[in-house]
Structure 1
Amino acid sequence: METTMNQEMENHTHSSASSEFNPELTTELPLYIQWRQVDGALIYPIVPILFFSVLGVGTNILNILVFIKMGLQETTTISMLALAVSDLICCIMAFWTYLCYVPAFRDMPGLPFQSVEVSLETGQTFRPYVIRTGALITAFITLERCLCVVIPLKVKNIITLSATRVLIVVIYIITIVPYIAHPMLYQLDWKFYPYLNRSLVGAVYKENPLAILFMLIASYLCGFFYLLLATSVVIVCTLFLVINLLRSSRWRESMRKQTGASTAKSADMKTSSSRREDRLIKQVVVIAILFIICTTPGAVSMFIIAVSKDFVEKSRFYPSTLVLQGYLFAFETVNNSVNFFVYYVIGTKFRLVFRQMIGVKENTASS
């Protein structure tokens, strides 16, 4: 999808430079711009996206503050902090992108820039790369929990605090650095729009064969490979964790039935650490399930686009592609914005620290 859009933009740069929301000239625009301009609110659920992006900005700021307050002494806390940062960036980009599609803002008198082109350059094209960052971090979190179950005595020697920090930095680098090709091809500059009879800041295409090649590679790498890799890892690891949770629950139930009350109480005390581990696994599982629900359709659509050029190149399929893309964008925004509620409901320590931060006193000690 991203590759096709970039190619279309290159082929129609000159025509798009002079024909934003002019109905008479709309057929001269790249196809994906035409459909967005026919009825942006129809193609994209703008109001829900704006709502969840604002919600996500607030909740992810809270996530970051709570994780820092908790202390970065556990690998999972570091990973979830990194995930909150990527989610925050995604929500900011989503809000800005779709604010530029709101007619009241888009058609504001005296606005010194062409909102659609500026949103593409300052938000919409960058956001997919950060989405892949969050996807790979989620995959790492679920994989780490699986290793804690499979090799509990060795995992702390394998996944150390320093190794986690390095891996998080590497994930950010390999997902965001490929974006640099885009500003090499498209730059914001003043240009004249004849139908408005005025100059506005818009996107200007700069010929750069090396950047085109780099963008092609980056589009398939970030738009296809990273997403499918992360989704596959998360699905497999989540299934494993769910099976492990069910086994653990059945084992505890059988222990209660086979032993007396005093023996059961002793067993519960011995398994307090495993119960804490189970709560953490439940938290990771819920986050992973949300990720799967919200991103698997996108991974499937990317696969279809990669193997079937007709799906994106033939105009009779393209409107459906755009509608699908818009709603997938909305699902991704939901995924970026709701983790706070998962942490608060399931995470005992997270809930305790958050309540302390807002001045709520605990009457009883949390388990």
Structure 2
Amino acid sequence: MDATVNACIGSDRLFDSPTTMNASVAIESEMKWISGMRPILSEEDFFTWMSLIIYVTLFVALIGIISNLLVIITCARIGFSETINISYLALGIADLMASATRFYGSIFLLFEITTTKVHFDPRTVSSVVAFLPSQGFEKTAAFITAFIALERCLCVQFPLHVKTIVTKRKTIFSNVIIYIFAFGPSNLIHMVYRFKWVYNATQNRTVLAIDQSETRLRYILARALYAYYGTILNFTALIVVWICTVYLVLGLKRKAVARKENFKTSFIKDNKQKDLQVIKTVFLLAVTYLVCSIPTAITLLVPQFVPEFGSTRALARISRVSYMISGLMMQVNSCTNFFIFLYMGSRFRKALITLFKRH
């Protein structure tokens, strides 16, 4: 596969996103090869890894679409008498959209590596219509996970007052605010980038692409979005979930004796067991998010200590593959919530079984 196809796989630097396709690094490295340095990953191995990750991402994203549709339908059937179900529904919607955008974004990349002739430029179009929105939805899901974990921490700390602290109205308002601040900014890119017909030398025809002529406003906005999604939102959600997860573990241990003393009637016991089950579910959601976020955190931190990472011929392909794996792991996080609900939630299982029995 020639260098032209290699360059086409990546996205333009202005569209970079830390957990998807920071592939412009690979493009620039091809332009600025350092003499005497050989790539650690051969071209053949590079495209093998790329193909494997793309196909796996497509499979995982498809599972995410199906599973999160089931989460949304099942949560709607259970109802929203409890505030936690409102957040579960919001989480399911965010994960569904993250899976959908990453699914068709991966199809665009598949067009590139298979040199399929299409009437648009998959590299630039996918960056705007797929991977940047995917970033927004993934960060939305991350902050909803953080909100759910924080809500459970309040339940542990203030068990008698949590109903007044966390109300339905406050829960709906909080989730809407999360969507606005986590997903909303990803749409700003449409203010400065426009679709236009350009000549594609590889396909020898005119295709639909994104106008990449650089202006100061475009550069500032693209850098701001990269910093916002790659650093601010990413590490803020990570830190909040870490703190809440640790607090949940410590809080459960601290209140274990108190729970046993309060198990005086079967009614109280059932309620306590139910609360404990919800806390365990939230704990699994938080831990899953933390585990899946580790590759993203590493790929964001490594360039701070190894500036050559992705900026030289020797490391560019490794950098590209690492970003692809980071995106895949975030997609894994988007499709696991259904299985956690299915394993931990008795009401969820019953509602799901009833749904399938009716159909």
TM-score grouping bracket, smaller chain normalisation: 0.7 to 0.9
Matched residue, 2:158: 151
| Residue 344, structure 1, aligned to residue 342, structure 2 | yes
Matched residue, 2:216: 209
Of 271, 274, 280, 2:272 maps to: 274
Of 94, 99, 105, 1:97 maps to: 105
Matched residue, 1:126: 133
Alpha-carbon displacement from aligned partner over 1:239-271 (angstroms, at most 9, x marks no partner): 22223344556777x87xxxxxxxx98555532
Q: Structure 1 residue 276: deviation in Å?
A: 0.3
TM-score by length of 1: 0.80
Q: Which runs of 4+ in 1 moved over 4 A?
A: 26-30, 37-41, 103-106, 246-252, 264-269, 306-309
Matched residue, 2:290: 292
Q: Structure 1 residue 215: deviation in Å?
A: 2.6
Matched residue, 1:23: none
Does structure 1 conserve the Cα–Cα contact (< 8 Å) formed by 2:157 and 2:251? no
The separation in 2 between residues aligned to 1:4 and 1:310, in whole angstroms, is 19
CA RMSD of aligned residues (A): 3.4
Does structure 2 conserve the Cα–Cα contact (< 8 Å) formed by 1:135 and 1:230? yes
Matched residue, 2:54: 46
Does structure 2 conserve the Cα–Cα contact (< 8 Å) formed by 1:291 and 1:335? yes
The separation in 1 between residues aligned to 2:186 and 2:305, in whole angstroms, is 23
The separation in 1 between residues aligned to 2:89 and 2:151, in whole angstroms, is 15
The separation in 2 between residues aligned to 1:85 and 1:48, in whole angstroms, is 22
Of 78, 95, 101, 2:86 maps to: 78
What is the DSSP-based 3-state SS (H/G/I as helix, E as strand, rest coil) of the residue aligned with 2:109? Answer: coil
The separation in 2 between residues aligned to 1:132 and 1:112, in whole angstroms, is 31
TM-score by length of 2: 0.81
Q: Structure 1 residue 287: deviation in Å?
A: 1.0
Matched residue, 2:170: 163
- For these two proteins, the number of residue pairs brought into alignment is 333
Alpha-carbon displacement from aligned partner over 1:213-249 (angstroms, at most 9, x marks no partner): 2332222122111111111111121122223344556
Q: How is 1:104-115 mapped onto 2 (pairs within 5 angstroms)?
A: 106-109=114-117, 111-115=118-122
Of 320, 323, 344, 2:321 maps to: 323
More moved, 315-324 vs 160-169: 315-324
The separation in 2 between residues aligned to 1:225 and 1:329, in whole angstroms, is 18
Give unpaired runs (5+ residues) of structure 1. Answer: 10-15, 21-25, 256-263, 362-367
Q: Structure 1 residue 302: deviation in Å?
A: 1.8
Matched residue, 2:232: 225
Matched residue, 2:357: 359
Alpha-carbon displacement from aligned partner over 1:122-158 (angstroms, at most 9, x marks no partner): 2122211221111111001001100110012222222
The separation in 2 between residues aligned to 1:216 and 1:315, in whole angstroms, is 24
Matched residue, 1:197: 204
More moved, 264-273 vs 144-153: 264-273
More moved, 91-100 vs 57-66: 91-100
* Identity rate, percent: 25
Does structure 2 conserve the Cα–Cα contact (< 8 Å) formed by 1:187 and 1:204? yes
The separation in 2 between residues aligned to 1:149 and 1:331, in whole angstroms, is 30
Does structure 1 conserve the Cα–Cα contact (< 8 Å) formed by 2:196 and 2:209? yes
Please tell me the residue identity of whatever aligns with 1:133.
Answer: T
The separation in 1 between residues aligned to 2:154 and 2:160, in whole angstroms, is 10
**In terms of Rg, which structure is larger?**
1
What is the DSSP-based 3-state SS (H/G/I as helix, E as strand, rest coil) of the residue aligned with 1:238? Answer: helix
What is the DSSP-based 3-state SS (H/G/I as helix, E as strand, rest coil) of the residue aligned with 1:281? Answer: helix
